[in-house]
Chains A and B, each alone.
Chain A
Amino acid sequence: MRVVWAVAAKELVDLSRDRRALVLGFLVPVLAVPVMSLLVDASTNRRLQSPSRVAVVGSPEARELLRLGEDLVEAVAVADPKEALRTGRVAAVLEVSAEAGEVKEVVVRYRARDPDGLIAREKVAQLVARYAVPAVDRTLRAHGLDREALTPVRVREEVVPGGSGWTGRLAALLVVVWGFAGASLLAADLGAGEKERGTWDALRSAPVHRMALVGGKFVACWVAGAVLAVLSASSQLLFSGPGPVEGAQLAGLLVAGLCASAVAGSAALVVGLLSRSAREANQWAMPLYLAALATAAGSDLVGGTRAAFAVPVLNAFLLAQRALAGGPPEGTQVGSTVLSSAAVCLVLLAAAARLVDRD
C-alpha cells in the first residue's frame, strides 16, 4: 500500500503544480458551464418574452388579428416572405384568409428545427385563440349556451417544489462527463506522458509490484476525476440548481461521480499504456469521451431498468439523474452501480498492470 500512496501522492503533487492543467482542467469547467447555462437561460427567456417576428401574407383582416397580439407577434414588412423565412429574417410566415370580413384560416410556415419558429408557432396559436374566443362566445350565446358547457371536466394545476428539470439533467450529465474527462485526461498523460518524458524506464526498473504502480496512478486519476465531477456539479447547482438538495441526494451524486471517474481512469490508463505519446493517448481517448457522452445522452432510451444499472457510465448517469430528480436512489441501484463499476475497473487495472512490462 505504501507504493500505491507514494505513486498517487507524487502524481497529485505534480498535478497541483501544473497551473495550466489546473486552470484548463478545473477552473474552466467549473466556471464556464454555469456561465454558459445562464447565458442560454437568458437567451431563451428573451425569445419567449419578446414578440416573434413574422411576415404576413393575405387578406386585410389580418391587421385586426395582429392588433390583438402585439405582445405576441411583430409583423415585419418583407418583399419576399419565403426568402425572409429561409434566411431567418422572420421566424414564421402567416398566410391569412378571410370570409365575410372574418378570419377563417391562418397557415403558419416555419422552419422545422428552428427554436424561434417553434416559439412563433405557439404565439400564433395564442393569438388565434384571442381572436376566436369572442366569436365562439357570441355563437354560444346565440344558442343559449356559455363556455362552461363545453368544458365538463375542469383541470386544476397544483405545483409542488422538486424535480430536476433541464438544469438537473445537465448537472447529472456534468457529474458523469467531467468525472470521466478529468480522470481520463490525467490517466492518458500518466501512462503515455511518462514514456514521452523519458521517466518510464526508471519507474519500471524499480522493484515495484505492477498492480501497485498502476493502482497508485489510478488513485490519482480517480481523485482528480471525482473532484472535478463534484466541483462542476456543485457550481452548476449553485448557479441555477433545482432548489435545495438533500444530503442523500448529494451522496448519490458523489457515488455517481466516483463510479464514472473510476471507470474512466482505469480505461484511460490502459489506453495511455498502449500509446507511445500523450498526444496519441488523447487521440485514442477521444472515442471514450464520445462513448460516455452518447451513453449519457441515450439514457432515456433504456430507462431505469435493473439491467441499465449494470452498465458502467450509463449507471452513473442514471444514478446522478435519480439523485437530482426526486430524492435518494434505491440501495439496489447504488449497489449495482458500485459493483459493476468496481468489476470493470479491476479488469482494466489488471490489463494495465500487464501492459507495464510490454516491450
Chain B
Amino acid sequence: MSVELVGVCKRYGRAEVLRGLSFRVDAGEAVALVGPNGAGKTTTLRILATLTRPTEGTARVCGWDVTRHADRVRHCVGIVAEQAGVYGRLSALETLHYFGALYGLDRREVQRRAEQLVSWLGMQEFCRSPAFTYSRGMRQRVQLARALLHDPSVLLLDEPTSGLDASTARVVREAVRSLARQGRCVVLATHSQEEALQVCDRLLRLEGGVVRDELPSACVP
C-alpha cells in the first residue's frame, strides 16, 4: 500500500472541504480524483504532500503518517501543483541541481538523474536557458522533472495538463502512464474524465469532500 486515507476531514474556518474521505492506492497503480471545483481534489493532494494537515482522520504515504512523519513522507512524494511556478532567472538544470541539494542527493547523482529526465521529457533544447523564456508546457515539464528528481514512490499531480497544447499534454500523459508502469503510485487530480480514462487505472469521483463513486477506468462508459 502506498497511499491510504481514513476518515480524513479538513476544515478551513467554518468551511468543510473534506468530510471523512477514505481511499487507498497501491504501488504501480494510477488513480484519478475527478470532480467539480471545490470537491476537495487539490486539498487531498496537499494533505498527501504534507503541505496542509488533516483536521481529523489519518493519511499515510508509504506507511508513514503525514502529520507525525512529515519529513519521511516528503522523501517518498513528488508533487506537481496546478499553479506551480518556476524560478525565472534559473535554468531548468539549475533548478534541478537546487532541488537535488534540498533532497540531499550528491552532485553526481543529481547530474545523472537530471540528464535522464531532460532526455526523457524532451527538455534538451531549453534546459540551459533561463526559465522566464519558457512556455507553459516547458514549465510543466520542468515541474515534472523536479518532482521526479529524487525518484519518489508516490507521484501527486494536480491538473498537470491544464493549459497545455495537445502535443505537450500527450507527452505529460505518456510520462505519467509510464511512471505507473514502473511501479510508482500515481494520484492525479483532474477535471477531465477523458484524461483520467487515458492515464489511470481507477477513477474516484469526489463531491463535497467525500468519494461518491469508485470505478475501474474500464467500467466507465
Distance between Cα atoms of A202 and B51 in the complex (Å): 9
Q: In the bound complex, do residue A201 and residue B81 qualify as a contact, i.e. CB atoms below 8 Å apart?
A: yes
- Check A14 for interface membership: any CB of B closer than 8 A: yes
Asked whether any CB of chain A lies closer than 8 Å to the CB of B38, the reply is no
Chain B residue at smallest Cβ distance from A17: B89
Q: What is the size, in residues, of chain B's interface with A at 8 Å between Cβ atoms?
A: 35
A199–B53 touching, CB < 8 Å:
no
Are the C-beta atoms of B98 and A202 separated by less than 8 Å? Answer: no
Knowing A201-B81, A202-B79, A205-B50 are in contact, say whether A3-B88 is a contact too (CB < 8 A): no
Q: Closest A-chain residue to B89, C-beta based?
A: A17
Taken together as a complex, chains A and B put the C-alpha atoms of A44 and B158 apart, in Å, by 64
CB pair A207 B71 closer than 8 Å: yes
Q: B163 on the interface (CB 8 Å rule)?
A: no
Report which residue of A7, A18, A204, A209 has the largest number of chain B beta carbons within 10 angstroms of its beta carbon: A204
Q: What's the Cα separation between A314 and B71 when bound, in Å?
A: 40
Chain B residues 57 to 113 lying within 8 A of chain A, measured CB to CB, are 70-72, 74-75, 77-79, 81, 83-90, 94, 98-99, 101-104
CB distance from B141 to the nearest CB of A (A): 14
Taking CB atoms, residues of chain A closer than 8 Å to B86 are 199
Query: How many whole Å from B66's CB to the nearest CB in chain A?
Result: 11
A residues 189-209 near B (Cβ < 8 Å) are 197-199, 201-209
| Candidates B74, B98, B147; contact of A10 at CB < 8 Å | B98
Residues of the A chain whose Cβ atoms lie less than 8 Å from the Cβ of B72: 207
Could you show 25 A-B contacts with beta carbons less than 8 Å apart?
A: A6-B98, A6-B101, A7-B102, A10-B90, A13-B89, A17-B89, A197-B85, A198-B81, A201-B46, A201-B51, A201-B81, A202-B143, A205-B49, A205-B51, A205-B77, A205-B79, A206-B74, A206-B102, A207-B71, A207-B74, A207-B75, A207-B102, A209-B71, A359-B12, A359-B52
A113 touches B (CB below 8 Å): no
Contacts of B46 in A (CB 8 A): 201
Which 7 pairs between the two chains have the least Cβ-Cβ distance?
A198-B85, A6-B101, A207-B74, A197-B85, A206-B102, A17-B89, A199-B85
Minimum CB–CB distance for A204 against chain B, Å: 6
Q: Specify which chain B residues have a CB less than 8 angstroms from the CB of A197 in the assembled complex.
A: 85, 87-88
Chain B CB within 8 A of A143 CB: no
Interface residue? B202 (CB, 8 A): no
Q: Which residues of A contact B52 (CB under 8 A)?
A: 359
Number of A-B contacts defined by CB within 8 Å: 72
B83, B94, B103: the one contacting A207 at CB < 8 Å is: B103
**B 1-33 to A, binary, CB cutoff 8 A, 1 in contact else 0:** 000000000001000000000000000000000
Give B79's nearest chain A residue, CB to CB: A205
A156 contacts partner chain B, Cβ-Cβ < 8 Å: no
CB contacts under 8 Å to A, within B159-178, are none
**Complex Cα distance A197/B87, Å?**
8
A14-B90, A204-B51, A205-B50 given; A199·B77 CB < 8 A:
no
| Contacts known (A3-B101, A201-B79); A14 close to B87, Cβ less than 8 A | yes
Which residues of A in the span 204-219 have a Cβ within 8 Å of any Cβ on B? 204-209
| A:164-205 near B, CB below 8 Å | 197-199, 201-205
Chain A residue, CB-CB nearest to B83: A198
Residues on B with C-beta less than 8 A from A10 are 87, 90, 94, 98
A154 at the interface (CB under 8 A from B): no
Residue numbers of B with Cβ under 8 A of A are: 12, 46, 49-53, 70-72, 74-75, 77-79, 81, 83-90, 94, 98-99, 101-104, 130, 143, 146-147
Sample of 7 further A-B pairs with CB below 8 A, known A13-B94, A14-B87: A6-B101, A198-B84, A199-B84, A199-B86, A206-B103, A207-B72, A359-B12
Q: Choose from B84, B94, B130 the contact partner of A201 (Cβ within 8 Å).
A: B84
Question: Does A46 make an interface contact (CB < 8 A)?
Answer: no
Please, which residues of chain B bring their CB within 8 A of the CB of A207? Answer: 71-72, 74-75, 102-104
* B101 in contact with A205 (CB, 8 Å): no
| CB-nearest residue of chain A to B71 | A207
Bound Cα distance from A203 to B81, whole angstroms = 12
- Interface core residue of A18, A201, A359 (most chain B CB under 10 Å): A201
Q: How far is the CA of A258 from the CA of B70 in the complex (A)?
A: 35
Q: Which residues of A contact B146 (CB under 8 A)?
A: 202
> In the bound complex, how far is the Cα of B103 from the Cα of A209, in angstroms?
11
Q: Which residues of A contact B79 (CB under 8 A)?
A: 201-202, 205
Residues of B within 8 A of A3 (CB): 101-102
Give Cα A13 to B79, complex, Å: 25
Contact A202 B75 (CB under 8 A): no
Instruction: Write the chain B residue with the least CB distance to A5.
Output: B101
Docked complex Cα distance between A2 and B49 (Å): 23
Q: In the complex, what distance in Å separates the CA atom of A187 from the CA atom of B72?
A: 29
Considering only CB atoms, which chain B residue lies closest to A194 in the complex?
A: B85
> Across the two chains, which residue of chain A brings its CB closest to B81?
A201
Which residues of the other chain, A, contact B71 by a CB distance below 8 angstroms?
207, 209
Cα distance A206–B12 in the bound complex, in angstroms? 24
| Chain B residue at minimal CB-CB distance from A216 | B102
Q: Return the chain A residue nearest B76 by Cβ.
A: A207
> In the complex the two chains form, what is the Cα distance from A267 to B99 in whole Å?
26
The winner among A10, A203, A205, A208 for most chain B CB atoms within 10 A is A205
State whether A13 and B101 are in contact (beta carbons under 8 Å apart), knowing that A198-B85, A206-B74 are contacts in the complex.
no
